[in-house]
Each structure stands twice: as structure tokens, then as C-alpha cells.
Structure 1
């Protein structure tokens, strides 16, 4: 890496009106250079075995000389230009000491700048691509300049390499091949570079600039005709791009477009648009030629986007899969200091005095220009193209997604390439990247401007304002530093920003109006000075001036302050009535269909909360649109697969977040309390037999102590296996009706517990109760997935499931209160009667309170129903709203899905802490030394801790869209709590109780998080309800727990706790293995998607070859 400070810098000496005494320093330096060149030429000939005389090769006509024969004619007619008989070009001084170039293309300059650089010595190492060797080739190539004096040709090339932007050519390789006649040089390209440089070199007036440029263009066209007779060459494409840029800048837009189209077709003929590994025969090309091809592809791509951006036309040179600008190789001199080139020191702007030189970083900036053009391509195609297939909702979603891409791009830019208002402008290519970045941001938000929001300067207006100010500041800095050398694209970037300020003139805030007017004044002054160099902007500038005058005239306060500035500009650019009607005739084509210059874009600019309620956006149409794939969506899908992050619904604007939160709150209030209360009694009625046992239940009925264990275990014989089947039946008849029915049935069966007299009756009631309860839990969870997006379900599952721990806490309190009753019945009989009656009452209310689906939710307004339904479509794509039927295929796939069984087995082992252990938790607490009613009371705090743990972890899981680590973290807490309970001595009652608190804090986390993980990875509603039902088989842990925690292991229950630790560890490993397997599947799908085009990805979305989570486009969330 070269140090910037180590390279001698070019310094400009003060001009002098008289010749210096003694030998002229410029001539002395030139003579020293020529002596040195002679020595180096000899070394080059010896090294490369070049025959003598190579510096003066024969021309196509067989003659030799520094000048080739002048072309006689062109396609435009006789060529007026220098002939081979023209006098030799020479360098002299006039009587004032100014340098004079003689010849038909010469002009006068002031004293030449002195370049204080060290001449290479013969001992310096020779490297064909070494940047320090570029001056050698420039010296050797000096005789190869045609139709110009060598000194003038040298100056033109210096100006070109100093200011080249979109079509970057490596200086050292071009000069080498110019000197040696290599493949990367051609006369056509040289003439195109001359023509491009005339716009940037100092020392010419506007008429000379135009005349010289036209001459070089005519010469280039003749050489182009000669090159077109042979095979396509890279230099032909490079030259065509340069001609296109020059013609467009000078106002010949049609000719520029034709040149660009020819360049693009030739690039495709040479396969430049394809990835190198897909082409054969490239092994014959040198590394420099391959690098040139890569840069040339991105030059074509960038210039195509620049023309689309400036001319309002659709891009014609598309990006290609697998082409990444980050692979472009740096130039060998990219880390060397860059300085602006000036032939005449008098033309050096004051801002360059003391200029802070910096590394060129030409290719680095070019890579960033290419990356921003990739985003600009999507903006043009998806927001401005007549072929755009995005509807209004997709356009609204496109904005934040693309804003994020722009932000991520800009955050990766090194500080040295960012604009610093306290320093002079960075080099032109860095400036161009910055301008394109800010202009892309404005173009992204401009179609969505709403005049009503200007007063508050929020949303799209605020984004446009921020980047418009940035463009203004950078343009001022650039012109102060480099003068009127704004490029074609930079001028249009400024114009995009200034057209936004016209909108701000209509703001109702005077401060905003005044700031916009100040920026317009600045832009009009800059554009007026640059219009002769970039003549294509003349008409837009006239329109901008006319629109500014028209806007200001509507506000007397502004008109008074603006009279002087607009008058001075309008003298040279008179406004017409037609101009006032058209603010931006060029950029009207860039507005989306159905929009106007005033920002009235129908409902395009509205947020999703307005889009999903729009009558012209149907649910069916929205579901179909979700299957559409463009370049941006394809890239987003690849990022999701690479990061294992699912997409789906998310509120993107502040207004959407507000309405989404309001909707969720209403759903939470009308759905969750009733279902959670029902589930709390589900848990109470399932586990109250444990509380009854502490009050003499088996003793009063003269049953053995093992009867309660057997009855608790037999409950799961019907509860577990029938869950998926009963849940599927529940979906068929309607979840809201089915859940009410199950509440009534198990409530009645709970009441029956109070009247049993023997063990056989107890077992029968428990079997029936298991059958009645089995469908409730999976039906509730499946019901919630119909109302909440996938990453808002986890917390709702936890709110619902957390009531199982609340049931444990309140179960102890309720049991304590009821068991104090004394009457004609045993206290445990009152417990069953009261806890059975409540579910019956709840079951009668559920079918009337809960809605069958979102459309029938009586508590939602029509707008809220539409929003709720369509956000579910966004979250679930076309899988939403397929009716209540469950197909045979969904049954089969659910039972054959390995994920279901892996998670179910792991969840079963994890559920030992919540299903098995907690049933006898009061008994375990009693074993710590707490007796009777106090044992029930001491179960309350651990259950409260369990509720807090499950709600906290589930909220975090939704918030960060992550399931695996939250799941494993909860299980780790359980394992730690179990170990503490085991290792702490029995006589340390409080220490073991603290261990139980840690255990219970994590005991309930796994279930809602695991089910949310499984449900989120099962997009089909029918299959989802079956999968959730199968996952309910984790309640088998209740059978294990009832047999494991027997009284014979009391009072410490060390053995059951040890077995539970081991099984929990196996479950932990099972969840981790499942996550690894899903990650590998995502990686495999990513490789397939990377080889597919957007059209093929969309076909995968729409076809039935693979369905649901089996599609390559489905991302398994982790």
C-alpha cells in the first residue's frame, strides 16, 4: 500500500507575466525527460525482445510517421480536419511568456504548471502494470497521439483520467497498449477519450469546447466504421459508451441512446453480461483482459441506469445473477494520491489552494456506484416502469425495504469516501456515488409525497428533504472546488433534488418555503453556469426556472425576496407560458403511472393500514400478489434463507405500528381472557385431584394411595392419542363452537368426581375427562394462528399457556379456601363441584362471544376486519383462508413430517417439568417440611415465577423473531433448578425451595415457544391444527410424572428428580439437533434459489409440485 504522504504532490506555481531568466524550466525538464526515455526504451527493447522501430509502426496504408493519414470522408460527408500534410505541431512561447500549442486543434494557455516529480532512474524495477511505470508508457506513447500536438494529446488524456467516472479505464494498461500497440488500445477509443476530455479540460472557451469536441466525434465515427468491419472488441464498447455520454451531455440524446444501445448489444455478443465461469475459452485471456471485461460489464450497467435516470426511459441492460461488483479488482494506483489536473494554474479555483489530497480509490468508488445502481434499477422498474407489476400495497412495502438496502449500503462506505462539509469536495467519482445515493433516496420517496404532510415534514417528505439538502451542500462544495465540471448524471441528481424543492414552496410554513427557495437559487446559479457544458439540461433548467417563478409569484413574501436572484437568471433563460405549465418535462416520464408533479399519486403513497382497507385491493388479489417475485424479492428471499429469518408481516411505519397495536389490543381483550380462563380451569380440573389428595381424598373413599396415581395416568390414555383427531373434528365444525362444547363436557365430568365411590368409577371418569379435554388446547392455539401473525403468536400462546401456571398458583389458593369448608360433604367434594361448575358456564358463553373467523368478529369495525384479514394474508401468503376442511393429504403429511416427531419427543421430555412434576408439586413441597394447607400455599410463589418466566421469554422470542435459543434457555433454567434441588441437603428447606423457584421459572417456557416454532414453520392451516394436536402428545410426560413421583421416593424425591434431569438433557439435545437440521435445509434451499431467476422463483411459489413448507421458497424459522 502506498502512503498518500509519501508520493510527491503536484503543486501549482504562481503565474508570471514574464519569462524567467536563464533556461526555461519547462524545456529543461522536457529535455531531461527525453534523455531518460532513451535509456528506458533500450531497456524495454531488451526485456520484451521488441524489434527496433516499434515506436513508429506503419499505418494501414503502409506509411510511417507520427501522424496517420487523415480520413477523407465520414458517413456525415467530407471530413474537415487536419491532413497528413498539415504543419507539425510544436510548443512555443508568446511574447508574454504563455505556452502556445500550434495546429488546427491547438489553443493558448498560460504558463504551464510545474510538476515536481522524481524522474525514474534506469535502476528502478520494471513492472508492466506498476502504477509508477505509467509515466514511462505515457512518455513512450507521446508519439502515438493523432491529429493533435503531442503535448495537447497528453493534456487531454491527463484530463480524461483525472475526471473519468462511469467508464473507468486503467491508465497504466491503456498507455502501455497505446505505446506497444496492444489489444486494450484503439484509435477509436482514443478519439472518444479526446472528445470526452474536451468537456473537462481547462483553457477553452465554450465555442472552442464545442468545435474541438465535434471534430473528435467525427474522427471517432470514422474509426468506429473501420472497427465495425472486424470482430467486436472491448475498446469499441468502451468508446461507444464514451460517445454516448458526450452526446447526451451535449443535448444529442437520440444519438447518445443509439451509441449506448450498440454498446450493450456488442457487450452481449461478447458474453460480457455473463458470469465468467459460464463461458468457455476464457482461459486464453489474460488477467487484465478478464478484469477489463468485468469493469466493462459494470460500466454498461451503470451507464444504462444513468440514462434511464436522466432520460426517464426504462433500463435495457439488466443485472445478471451471480455478478457482484465487489469482485472488481482495484487499480494498481488506487491508493496513490489524487489531485485535479489543470493545464493553466490561473484556472485553478481558490478552493484547491491547500487541497487535502487523498487516495484515488477509483475502483472502490466505482464498486459503490455499481451497488447503488443495482438499487436504482429496482426503484425505476418497480416504481416508475410501465411494466411494473407491483400493486399499491406492494409499492408501499417496497419503500422501507429499499430504504433499508440504501442505508445498509451507505453504512458500509468508509468515512474517507463520505462527504465532509468542512473539507473540499472529494474526487468526482466519489462525488457521483454520493449524488446517486441521495437521488435514489429522493426517487424512492417522491412518488409518495402528500402535500398535506409537508407542514409536519414527516414520512416521505422528511426523507426527501434530508437528501435534497445533502445534494445541495455537495453540489455547492463540488463547484467551489472543481469549477463547472459537473457530470451529466450529477446534474440530473441535482435536478431531481431541486424539483422536490418546488413542492416545498407550497408548504404552509414560511421557514420551509424560504429554505427551499434558497436552495433553488443556488441550483439555478450552478445550472446556468453548467448548461453550456451539459446542454441537455437546458430545457429542464428553463422549466425549473419557470416553475420557481410561478411558485414564488403565489406568495408575495417570497416574491419580494426573490426578485433580484430570479431576474438575473431569467435574463439568459426566459420563461414561457408553456414552461410554467411543466415543472419538469423530462422527469414527468419518471413519475409513476397515474401521478402528477404535485405529488398526487392516488393511494400509492399511503401506508399499509390504508392500502389493506382500500376497496380496490381484494383479499384474493392480495394473496395472489404475495406470490409475485421480482429482483428485490428474490434478493430478500436469499437473505432470509442465509440468515434463517422468516419474512411475513411486520408493521413498517409509525402509523402501521399504531394501528397494528390497537388491533392486537382489541383482539387480546376479546379473545384471550375467555380462553385463558377456560384453560386455567382446564388445568385446575386436571390437577385438582392432587389437591384433593392432600385433604384425604383416597382415605375417605377407602382406596389405596396408588389409586390417585393410576387415575392420573389413565387420564392421558385418552387425552394424548385423540388430540389430533379431535382437533381436526373441531376445525370441521368451527373452533369457537367446539371449544364451548368441550368446556361444558369436562366441567360436567369434573362435577362427577364429587360423586364417585370407588376406584373403578374414578378411572372411568378420568378416561372420559381426558377425551373431553383433549381437543381444547390444540384448537385454541390453531384458532389464535388465524388471528395473529406468526411472530405475534408466541406471546399470545404464552399469555394463554401461562394461565396453567396461574392455575397452579390459584389452584393452591382456591384449594386452600374450599378445603376449609365444612358441611354435609367432604371438603374435597366441594372442590370438585365448584371447579366443575365454572367451565360449564364459560362453555355456554364461548360460542356467542368468540367469532368463527376475522370476517365475523362482531367486535371489529369493517376497516379493522379488512386490516386484520390482509395482514394475515401478507404473513401467510396464499395459505390463508382455505376454509375449515382438513384434507387427507394434510393428515398424511402431518403424520409423516419428521419435524413434528422430533419436536414432539423433545417437548415430551421437556414437559416433565410442567406436566408430570407439577401434578405432584404440592406433595414435593410437603416433602420439604411444609404440612397440610401450608403445603398448598407454598406452591403459589413458584407458579407465579413460572408465569413471569413464560411471558417474558415468549415476548422476547416474538420481539427478536427467534425460537431456538429462547427454548433452550428456558430448559437450561429447569435443569439448573433440578440440580439445585437435588444437591441441596434435605434439611436446608429454604435452599431447596429456592431451587424449586428457579425450576418453575423455566418450567413452562418450552411449551408455547416450541408450539409457536412448529406452527410458524407449518404454513397450511389444515396441517397446522393436526401438527399442533400431535405436539400435544407431549402430555405423555404426565404419565411418566405420575409414575415417577411416587410417595415411596419421598420425602426428598431425589431419584425422580435425577431421572427428570437426565430426560430433560435429552430433550435439550433433541431441540438443538432439530434446529441444526432446519438450518441445513435452509442452506440447501439457498443454493437452489441462487441458481433460479425471479420468474423461476415465482413459478415455484405458484406451482403445486411442492406445497407448504416443502417449497424451496419457504424459510424455516429458527
Structure 2
């Protein structure tokens, strides 16, 4: 990998694209359906399993604490909050770095490798004797898990078209909710079979505690699945062991055509065929009020991510995109990194994501303790508490799938986010307004707020993935967006033991204010995106066909002097000087091109 001006791209020479021209429409449709079916049955479930284990290893200290984890170690209850705060602090800081290495070395090498190591760390919790050791283990797991989510989501986005991706990401992200269900059930089973107060003779002899069994089981499971990942996951469609030669062709071509469609997406997106006949010219439908621009197949290759960076030869830059695998899991450039860092939308959505993610990150760890705090029963044991964790997380998984299915079907992202936050706000409002002795009603309100907690984050990631064509930039952006896990640091301070006696009422009020701010932020973001699309339409409307062609292909249309808030910020932080120092040209790439229209 070269972090200079060239992107590392995998050659597709074993896959002769010309051969796809001999397929008729019926054969292409059949092969495309088979490709998606195999991805759904073979690749997606395994990635979901990886994320399920990732979520378990992130949140299992909360389940262990309900089984007297810190009490047995002779540690103060605050030790759990300290370790969680350290975990999220390190986890958040290292997100972009983890995403960078994940894209540099590829998902197939990076994720199974780091996963094996954090599985070992999870199992090592059975050897913890002090708060320092606990914090050290949580910090190591945080560092190893940091690049998992952005790397895996970026990898997943390479296999599905834009409007297939949302529902698949819901299956993937839904594992965070299912991890709460599975973690609760697993903890219930372990704590029931190995009770804390009445240990079996075997436990007494071996001196195993219930939470030790829990850590050992989850750590071992992670190590085993990670080892399988080295052999299960393909680097690209070219090396997908579960696809036939023809299916590999179609898998590449359907993503290639979707990326070209994204680069010419003016107005509301329209349904694109699974594979476009590569012998036909491409028409750029810029808008109903604009003349259409037609590109030959060779020219359309310039619309693919990375095609703009080649040297210009005889007035036309040479594109290597047509011979590159668009599903390759590695490759990144300086341009990708700079473009990600200098994009205001990334930082705006990060702020909204942090505020909206506080409930999901808080209850992923602290839900067993919150339920214990609002249950109003001192005799409620660890097994019963962890069983009560299941319904709220299950409701969250169901609502997430319903909303993302709606989002894919309607091809919208921001409106479903707002509806999800509205459900979350309703649950929070009910939780804080109900009497503290209304235990059943507060539990129902808790279930309601959890049902809306998991919608905003995955659909934000989906919006970013849909609107960032360059895989390298996308990986870095998702890494930056991973700083949304800073919500975990906030939640570890909010849901502290000192608030348990009052049923965590103050933390719920603070969370309500944060989520309300996020709702307003997302609403404003939608208005800003609409305004940006309109601005680009006005600019390009004054260009002739050749200027539009050059902007679409090379990103070097007429220079437009913008006067807005981001221009001021750019001058304050001297981003232009940083661009010159890094040797990055001023070409617009991907979503920066004025012929690119953001989806909503």
C-alpha cells in the first residue's frame, strides 16, 4: 500500500469483463439474484457473528457485575465504571487509526487477527486480582476492537449496492441488540447453573465463580470464530470461494455500475439494473431541466473511485479503474485521508451520533444494573435480572430491522433516523415522568426507549456509505464516525452507582436532553444537505456539456468560490496549506464533485 497519490488496487485480469457482454438480460438477472442470495446466506451471517461476539466482549462486564464480579474481587463498585470509561476513551481515540490499518492490510487479515487477541484478553478476566489489572485488560480489548466496526462495515459495503446495504447493515448492527439478548440469556444460564450463593460441590472444589465461567466461555468462543475467519472471508469477489466464475463477474459488475450510478445521481435516485450492458453508452441524467450527458463505457470508468488520480495523457487522464477490483478489501491514499478529515459533514454527524448513541452505549453495559435499580425488589437475583434484559434488546432489534427495511425500500435515510429518535424520546420522557414506584410501567418505558435506540447510528453509517464513493475515504470516515463511541465515556459517568438509589433519574434527564439535541441536529442536517444539492444544481446549470463532462470524470470543472461557514473554518485551520504540504492536488473527488448529488 502506498500512502502517496496512488491507490493500491487489485487487478481483475482473471475476470474478463468482456465475457459479461455475452450474457442476456435473463441470465444476468439470474446470476445477480444468486450472488445476493449467497452473500446473504454465507458472508453476511458470518460478519454478523463476528459483530455479535464483538458486542459481547465489549459489554460482558455489565453481566458479570450482576453476578458479583467486583464484590468477589474485593473492588469498589466504582471500579466497573472506571474500567468502562477507560475502555471507551481508548476505543474512541483509536477508531480512525484502527480503520486505517484495517483498510491498509485488508479486512481478512486485520479483523481475525485482532479478534483472536481480544478473545484471549476476555478469557484472562478470570485472572484479574486488582482494579489496575481490570483497567489494563479493558484498555487492551479497546485498542484491539477499535478498528473492527469501521473496517467490517466498509468491507460489507463493498459487496452490496447502495439500496441493498441498509437492510443488510441492520442485520449486522442488530447484533449489538441481539448481543444484549444473547448475553442476558447466556448469563442467566451460567448464573443459574453456577449460582453465586449456593455453589455446587464441583464449583467449590474447582473454585470457579459464575462470572469466571462467563468470561471463559465468551473468550474461547471469540478465539474459535476468529480462527475460522481467516479461511472464510474472501479478499474480493475475485477470491470468493462460494461464487462461481460467472457469479464473480456479476458480483464485480453490479458494484461497478452502482458506483457509476452514484456518481451521476442527480435528483431522487432511480432503480438501477443489476448489471448495465457495458457496450452501451452511459447517460448522465443531471435533471429534468438540464441536457443529458452521454459517456462511452471507457469514459464511464472515470466515474469510479480512484480513476481521477492517474496522470493526464494527451489531454485525458489515464483510468485504471476498469482493470481494478471494486470489491478489494485494501487500498488507501493521502487524498482519501485528507478528504475525510476536511469534510464538514463527517464532523457534524459525529456530534449528532455521539448524543443519539448515549442510550445504546449506556444500556449495552449498564442495563442489568439499571433494571436492578428500578425493579424495586431486593430479592431479584442475577439470573432473573439478566433474563429481564432480553425483551428490551429484542424490541430494539425488531424496530431496527423494520426501520432499515423501510429506509431501503423508500431510499431515504434521514427521515427514518428522526422517527427512531422520536420513539427514543417518547420512552425517555415516560421513564423520567413516571413515579419511581411504578416499576412495571418504567420497565415498559425502558423497553420503548431501547426499541428506538439502535436506529440512528446504523442509518447514519448507511448515509455516509451511500454518499462516499471512494472506499478508502469511506473507511477513514467510518473510523472518525466511530468516535461516536465517546457516548460510552459519557454513559459510564452518567450511570454511576451513586444514582442507583434514585432509580437513575438524573442520568435519564441528561440523556433526554442529549437525544433531543441530536433530533434537532439531524433535522437541521437534512435541510443543509438539501441546500447543498440545490447549490450544486445552480452552479452546474450554467456549465456547458464539456465542463460537466470534465467535472464528472476528473473533478476539474470551473473553480467555484464558496462563501460559507466551512470556508471560514478552512481558513482558520489552514487546511489549504495542509493540502499543499501533503502534495495533494485540488481536484474534486467522489462526493466533492459538483455533479454529485447527496441522497437523503
For 2:334, the equivalent position in structure 1 comes to 888
For 2:468, the equivalent position in structure 1 comes to 1018
- Equivalent residues of 1:917, 1:1045 under 8 A apart: no
- Equivalent residues of 1:912, 1:1038 under 8 A apart: yes
Instruction: Find the aligned partners of 1:806 and 1:834 in 2 and give their Cα distance.
Output: 17
Instruction: Find the aligned partners of 2:107 and 2:122 in 1 and give their Cα distance.
Output: 22
- Choose which of 198, 211, 225 in structure 2 pairs with 1:842: 225
Q: Aligned pair count?
A: 474
Q: Secondary structure at the match of 1:973?
A: helix
Q: CA deviation at 1:656?
A: 5.9
Match status 1:1064 vs 2:447: no
Q: CA deviation at 1:617?
A: 5.0
Higher helix share: 2
- Structure 2 counterparts to residues 879-918 of structure 1, below 5 A: 879=305, 881=325, 884-918=330-364
For 2:533, the equivalent position in structure 1 comes to 1082
Q: CA deviation at 1:865?
A: 1.0
For 2:524, the equivalent position in structure 1 comes to 1073
Deviation string 1:123-161 (CA, Å, 9 cap, x unpaired) is xxxxxxxxxxxxxxxxxxxxxxxxxxxxxxxxxxxxxxx
- Choose which of 1017, 1023, 1033 in structure 1 pairs with 2:483: 1033
Instruction: Find the aligned partners of 1:838 and 1:968 in 2 and give their Cα distance.
Output: 37
For 1:1005, the equivalent position in structure 2 comes to 455
- Choose which of 863, 868, 886 in structure 1 pairs with 2:246: 863
For 1:1113, the equivalent position in structure 2 comes to 595
Match status 1:922 vs 2:373: no
Pick closer, same or farther for the CA change 1:771–1:993 going to 2, 3 Å. Answer: same
- Equivalent residues of 1:613, 1:867 under 8 A apart: no
Deviation string 1:490-539 (CA, Å, 9 cap, x unpaired) is xxxxxxxxxxxxxxxxxxxxxxxxxxxxxxxxxxxxxxxxxxxxxxxxxx
Instruction: Say what the alpha-carbon RMSD is for the aligned residues.
Output: 1.9
Q: CA deviation at 1:1104?
A: 4.1
Pick closer, same or farther for the CA change 1:936–1:719 going to 2, 3 Å. Answer: same
Pick closer, same or farther for the CA change 1:840–1:1098 going to 2, 3 Å. Answer: same
- Equivalent residues of 2:180, 2:389 under 8 A apart: yes
Q: CA deviation at 1:786?
A: 0.9
- Equivalent residues of 2:63, 2:365 under 8 A apart: no
Q: CA deviation at 1:721?
A: 1.2
For 1:1093, the equivalent position in structure 2 comes to 544
- Structure 2 counterparts to residues 547-566 of structure 1, below 5 A: none
For 2:95, the equivalent position in structure 1 comes to 723
Instruction: Find the aligned partners of 1:920 and 1:695 in 2 and give their Cα distance.
Output: 13
- Choose which of 90, 104, 127 in structure 2 pairs with 1:755: 127
Query: Structure 2-normalised TM-score?
Result: 0.76
- Equivalent residues of 1:802, 1:947 under 8 A apart: yes
Instruction: Find the aligned partners of 1:876 and 1:713 in 2 and give their Cα distance.
Output: 40
- Choose which of 36, 55, 61 in structure 2 pairs with 1:683: 55
- Equivalent residues of 2:32, 2:247 under 8 A apart: no
Query: Structure 1-normalised TM-score?
Result: 0.41
- Equivalent residues of 1:711, 1:762 under 8 A apart: yes
- Structure 2 counterparts to residues 642-657 of structure 1, below 5 A: none
- Choose which of 988, 1001, 1008 in structure 1 pairs with 2:438: 988
Q: Secondary structure at the match of 1:678?
A: helix
Q: CA deviation at 1:1035?
A: 0.5
* Rg larger in structure: 1
Match status 1:765 vs 2:103: no
- Structure 2 counterparts to residues 560-639 of structure 1, below 5 A: 615=19, 617=21
For 2:279, the equivalent position in structure 1 comes to none
For 1:97, the equivalent position in structure 2 comes to none
- Equivalent residues of 2:431, 2:445 under 8 A apart: yes
Deviation string 1:393-443 (CA, Å, 9 cap, x unpaired) is xxxxxxxxxxxxxxxxxxxxxxxxxxxxxxxxxxxxxxxxxxxxxxxxxxx
Q: CA deviation at 1:773?
A: 0.6
Q: Secondary structure at the match of 1:703?
A: coil
Instruction: Find the aligned partners of 2:597 and 2:223 in 1 and give their Cα distance.
Output: 42
- Equivalent residues of 2:63, 2:386 under 8 A apart: yes
Instruction: Find the aligned partners of 1:749 and 1:1037 in 2 and give their Cα distance.
Output: 23
Instruction: Find the aligned partners of 1:1091 and 1:1024 in 2 and give their Cα distance.
Output: 31
Q: Secondary structure at the match of 1:1092?
A: coil
Q: CA deviation at 1:1090?
A: 2.1
Instruction: Note the residue ranges of structure 2 that are not aligned, 5 or more in a row.
Output: 1-15, 261-303, 306-320, 557-587
Deviation string 1:1074-1108 (CA, Å, 9 cap, x unpaired) is 22111111001111222233333222112243211
Q: Secondary structure at the match of 1:788?
A: coil
Instruction: Find the aligned partners of 2:20 and 2:392 in 1 and give their Cα distance.
Output: 54
**Higher relative contact order (CA closer than 8 Å, sequence separation 6+):** 2
- Structure 2 counterparts to residues 458-537 of structure 1, below 5 A: none
Instruction: Find the aligned partners of 1:1011 and 1:817 in 2 and give their Cα distance.
Output: 34
Q: CA deviation at 1:1019?
A: 0.9
For 2:85, the equivalent position in structure 1 comes to 713
For 2:420, the equivalent position in structure 1 comes to 970
For 2:212, the equivalent position in structure 1 comes to 829
Instruction: Find the aligned partners of 1:657 and 1:1041 in 2 and give their Cα distance.
Output: 48
Instruction: Find the aligned partners of 1:748 and 1:617 in 2 and give their Cα distance.
Output: 50
- Choose which of 854, 859, 870 in structure 1 pairs with 2:237: 854
Instruction: Note the residue ranges of structure 1 that are not aligned, 5 or more in a row.
Output: 1-611, 619-652
Q: CA deviation at 1:1109?
A: 0.8
For 2:397, the equivalent position in structure 1 comes to 947
- Equivalent residues of 1:613, 1:863 under 8 A apart: no
For 1:961, the equivalent position in structure 2 comes to 411
Instruction: Find the aligned partners of 1:655 and 1:917 in 2 and give their Cα distance.
Output: 48
For 1:873, the equivalent position in structure 2 comes to 256
Pick closer, same or farther for the CA change 1:726–1:987 going to 2, 3 Å. Answer: same
